[in-house]
Amino acid sequence: MTNTVEFAKMNGLGNKILVVDMRGRTDKVTPEAAIALNTDAETQFDQIMAIHDPKAQGTDAYIDILNSDGSKAQACGNGTRCVVQALAAETGKKAFTFQTVAGILNAVEHEDGTISVDMGRPVFEWNRIPLAEEFHDTSRIELQIGPIDNPVLHSPSAMSMGNPHAIFWVDRDPMSFDLERFGPLLENHPMFPEKANISLAQVISDSALRTRTWERGAGLTLACGSAACASAVSAARTGRTGRKVTIDVASSPIRQPLVIDWRANNHVVMTGPAEWEWSGTVDPTTGSWSRDAAPGAEAR
């Protein structure tokens, strides 16, 4: 078994993704390799999407997902779109079925280059999100940041999209909040025994939201697909919007909205772009890497 594998630096609406090809191998990308890659400015990422040989019949691949701190992630919608684009370019296929820790994901690349991912069914039960306290109605839970009589953030909607989310509803631009300060406190709040993705969501209309996310295990991120899905579902669930919305991800440098459709069959389908940046090889054990055909690039 060789020490290096191919990988691609990609992004999904600015969400920084490394797609690592682990097919034909029995080992995995180690947490140490992930941490090493994230410390380098050129390979800094939000999630690693490691493509493994399929484990289940009828699937195209098993996807192992790592956060930038080396921890495991259950879901990453933006990263899944990057995997689809990479495999579509390699194989010519347009439709894929992936297995992840969170379950089976179906995805398709459209003629315009956008990619739809069926993110599965949302989970609302407090013990399955999970929360540390029982709530009969998780569309609004008791949690706040700031003075008790004038909190900065309060009463989030909680749910799971394969990973836990808390959506705080705000009445002004999410970029105007100090999420870099509040994010770590809320991600690690005792209410969330498995931590949580923390999003701020502003309702623009009955079919549009503007969001910003602090991502569990990754920190302040330019975009988070599962958080966009959680925001859209929570908006519909609380009567703020309809079941199909566009999401303006406020922190993303790419001014293209995500489209989230919470369908009648209870599945959440996310549609948006993916972008290839460059490729190289990486040691999945140590994280040392080199870039393909880039003048002056050196092994790290």
Q: Exposed, middle or buried: residue 242 (CB in 10 Å: 0-12, 13-18, 19+)?
A: middle
226 is in an annotated binding site: yes
Out of 51, 61, 76, 88, pick the active-site residue. 76
14 is in an annotated binding site: no
127 is in an annotated binding site: no
Cβ atoms within 10 A of the Cβ of 175, count? 12
Contact partners, residue 181, CB within 8 Å, separation at least 6: none
* Type of residue at 244: K
67 is in an annotated binding site: yes
Dihedrals phi, psi of 264, to nearest 5 degrees: -65, -25
First to last CA, the chain: 21
Token representation of residue 174: 């999410």
76 catalytic per annotation: yes
Out of 8, 49, 209, 224, pick the active-site residue. 224
Show the beta-strand stretches assigned E in 27-102: 47-52, 61-67, 72-73, 95-100
Dihedrals phi, psi of 39, to nearest 5 degrees: -80, -15
Q: How far apart are CA 214 and CA 181, in angstroms?
A: 10
Q: How far apart are CA 246 and CA 174, in angstroms?
A: 16
Local structure of 233: helix, strand or coil: helix
225 is in an annotated binding site: yes
15 is in an annotated binding site: yes
* Nearest C-alpha neighbor of 237 from the set 293, 164, 134, 156: 156
| Known binding residues | 15, 47, 67, 77-78, 163, 197, 215-216, 225-226
Q: Which residues are catalytic?
A: 76, 224
| Known binding residues for substrate | 15, 47, 67, 77-78, 163, 197, 215-216, 225-226
